[in-house]
Amino acid sequence: MLKDRHILLTGAARGLGAEIARSLAGHGARLIVADIAEDEGRATALEVGAEFLPVDLADPASIAALGAAVSELTHGALHGLVNNGAIATGIGGIPFDQIEIDSWDLVHRVNVRGTWLMTRACAPMLRASGSGRVVNVASDTALWGAPNLLSYTASKGAVMAMTRSLSRELGPDRVGITAVAPGILTTPSTDYVPEARHRLYSEGRAVPGPQAPGEITDVIAFLLSEGALTLTGQTLPVNNGFVFK
Ligand SMILES: NC(=O)c1ccc[n+]([C@@H]2O[C@H](COP(=O)([O-])OP(=O)(O)OC[C@H]3O[C@@H](n4cnc5c(N)ncnc54)[C@H](O)[C@@H]3O)[C@@H](O)[C@H]2O)c1
């Protein structure tokens, strides 16, 4: 499905990102993975036969440098960008009136501004490929209003809003952009989440039980394909029917 398509994936060092890397490589993509965690990121790249490049999504200069390096590797034509890298763990279970300002700011710097700047850095390359696709990894917590997670849910709500607005700015060049909204997955990042929240999902899903990251990666692969342009601007919950949109 993705044969010979150059794809850049952020946050591929572990968890869902590493699983997406395995899937995209399996679908034939020519993959570049980027992460702030260099050792783990290089290990993922080695495993799937991808290139690794470092990036700090909180740092505009680092994102610009990644864009330049990707342009060199792809000769200026990129078919796909997956904005998966994010602050996604250790920020839940905190009431809205107890979140530290610095923590809120970091979540938004990485999850929101990082997604914008990464997309901006790649836009010329996505246009040049003739069939550029962006997939933003959001979260269904922003759809059902998960409590005690406000900095994160607000950031993922912003990602969905950016997906809609960017679809109109990128669409004239036939660049498609979508978001996926997973529920809670069986990744190490959710080990700290209380059992009650895991149970809420397990019992509330149309397909009951836990959900592994590998269960959503084929959808992401499809969204990066040429045929997915028709879905541009949409957010797809990929949560085995926990919340509908
Ligand atoms: N695991 C879940 O249940 C779940 C559910 C919904 C959405 N998501 C989303 O899936 C994505 C992956 O999450 P995960 O669960 O694998 O979490 P994770 O914390 O294991 O992975 C996040 C990745 O992003 C990288 N990262 C963090 N800050 C960065 C920065 N400043 N610059 C570059 N890279 C940075 C990390 O090094 C890591 O590789 C996130 O966007 C998350 O919000 C996860």
* Residue 149 included in any domain: yes
Does residue 185 have its Cβ closer than 6 Å to ligand 1? Answer: yes
**Cα 243 → chain centroid:** 19
* Residue 245 included in any domain: no
Does residue 103 have its Cβ closer than 6 Å to ligand 1? Answer: no
**Ligand 1 centroid to residue 71 C-alpha, Å:** 24
Q: Which residues contact 195 (CB under 8 A, 6 or more apart)?
A: none
Is the pLDDT reported for residue 222 higher than 90?
Answer: yes
- Our answer to whether residue 201 is catalytic in this structure is no
* Residue 243 included in any domain: no
DSSP assignment string, 46-82: HHHT-EEEE--TT-HHHHHHHHHHHHHHHTT---EEE
* Residue 241 included in any domain: no
Tokens of 189: 């990042």
For the CA of 37, the closest atom of ligand 1 is: 37
Provide the residue range defining the domain that includes 173: 6-236
pLDDT confidence of residue 146? 98
**Ligand 1 centroid to residue 79 C-alpha, Å:** 22
* Residue 107 included in any domain: yes
**Cα 35 → chain centroid:** 12
Pocket test for ligand 1, best of 189, 205, 243 (most atoms within 8 A of CB): 189
| Percentage of the chain modeled with pLDDT above 70 | 100
Give the sheet arrangement for strand 133-137, strand by strand.
Answer: 51-54, 30-35, 6-10, 80-83, 133-137, 176-182, 235-238
Tokens of 166: 């960017």
* Mean pLDDT of all residues in 63-79: 98
Is residue 110 within a helix (H) or strand (E), and if so which, with residue range? none
Pocket test for ligand 1, best of 53, 59, 187 (most atoms within 8 A of CB): 187
Q: Any idea what the CATH number is for the domain that residue 192 is in?
A: 3.40.50.720
Are the beta carbons of 241 and 172 closer than 8 angstroms?
no
* Residue 138 included in any domain: yes
Q: Is 99 helix (H, G, I), strand (E, B) or coil?
A: coil
The dihedrals phi and psi of 10, each to the nearest 5 degrees, come to -95, 155
Are the beta carbons of 19 and 180 closer than 8 angstroms?
no
* Mean pLDDT of all residues in 14-36: 98
Per-residue pLDDT reduced to its tens digit, 98-139: 999 999 999 999 999 999 999 999 999 999 999 999 999 999
Average pLDDT of every residue of the chain = 98
* Residue 175 included in any domain: yes
Write the residue with the smallest CA distance to atom 42 of ligand 1: 88
pLDDT confidence of residue 245? 83
**What pTM did the predictor assign?**
0.99
Catalytic residue, candidates 27, 36, 121, 152? 152
- Hey, which residues does 235 pair with through a beta bridge? 179
* Residue 150 included in any domain: yes
| Number of structural domains in the chain | 1
